[in-house]
């Protein structure tokens, strides 16, 4: 309580988001209550609602945090790498590391995307995937132009498969309870992907 009192409003918001992500890694995100979040943080529910008027607003803030952090991490991973396929590999590995660091994130993503109807958090999740695909489209087109990737490659399909590989690895890791295994499995998987999209000599 004393530590929380010393934090700025922005810092308290970030601590709240961290608490939700940690709890999402331990239980079904849909079952996380504001009482549980407040208890995890060591504050009252009243203190929690001073920053987020509703649970829906908090979930939207969490998804915005995920979108900003993940895309920034992908951009930094691919930065200054001249080879498009090498940049894609760096993004792939970086995404896996992001999930390993924050295992609650994919649980929240899957949960939001499965919800019926439209919510701010669900729209944010869709926007994240859309922006992710844009980055991949750019690299794939660049790879086709420079001769690294097959000129006949379907850009949209290649981007969907890229994201689908990460999602598949994540799903299997959640089922097995071993997120660390994604590192080794991911590298082998990307080799197969690369062979499939590379230009033939």
35 or 158: which leads in pLDDT: 158
Whether 177 shows a pLDDT value over 90: the answer reads no
Domain 1-53 in CATH 1.10.10 = yes
Question: Could you give the CA distance from residue 159 to residue 93 in angstroms, rounded to a whole number?
Answer: 15
Task: Give me the chain's average pLDDT, please.
Answer: 88
Domain ranges of the chain: 1-53, 55-197
Q: What is the pLDDT of residue 27?
A: 85
End-to-end CA distance of the chain: 64
pLDDT higher for 168 or 54? 168
Average pLDDT over residues 59-76: 93
Nearest by Cα to 170 from 91, 92, 99: 99
Q: Is 150 exposed, middle or buried (0-12, 13-18, 19+ CB in 10 A)?
A: middle
CB atoms within 10 A of CB 15: 17
Domain covering 55-197, topology: Tetracycline Repressor; domain 2 (1.10.357)
Q: How far is C-alpha 118 from the chain's CA centre?
A: 20
Mean pLDDT, residues 90-112 = 90
Spatial separation of the C-alpha atoms in residues 177 and 174, rounded to whole Å:
5
For 179, the token pair is 């997120």
Quick one: pLDDT at residue 74? 97
């Amino acid at each position: 309580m004393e530590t929380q009192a010393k934090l700025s409003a922005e810092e308290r918001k970030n601590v709240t988001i961290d608490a939700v992500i940690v709890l999402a890694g331990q239980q079904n995100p849909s079952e996380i209550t504001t009482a549980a979040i407040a208890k995890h943080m060591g504050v009252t529910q009243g203190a929690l609602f001073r920053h987020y008027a509703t649970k829906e607003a908090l979930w939207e803030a969490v998804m915005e945090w995920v979108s900003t952090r993940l895309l920034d991490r992908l951009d930094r991973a691919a930065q200054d790498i001249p080879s498009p396929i090498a940049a894609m590999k760096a993004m792939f590995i970086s995404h896996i590391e992001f999930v390993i660091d924050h295992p609650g994130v994919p649980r929240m993503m899957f949960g939001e995307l499965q919800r019926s109807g439209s919510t701010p958090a669900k729209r944010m999740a869709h926007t994240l995937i859309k922006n992710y695909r844009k980055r991949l489209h750019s690299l794939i087109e660049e790879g086709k132009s420079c001769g690294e990737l097959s000129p006949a490659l379907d850009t949209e399909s290649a981007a969907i498969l890229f994201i689908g590989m990460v999602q598949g690895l994540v799903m299997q890791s959640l089922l097995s309870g071993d997120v660390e295994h994604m590192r080794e499995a991911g590298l082998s998987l990307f080799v197969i992907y690369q062979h499939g999209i590379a230009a033939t000599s």
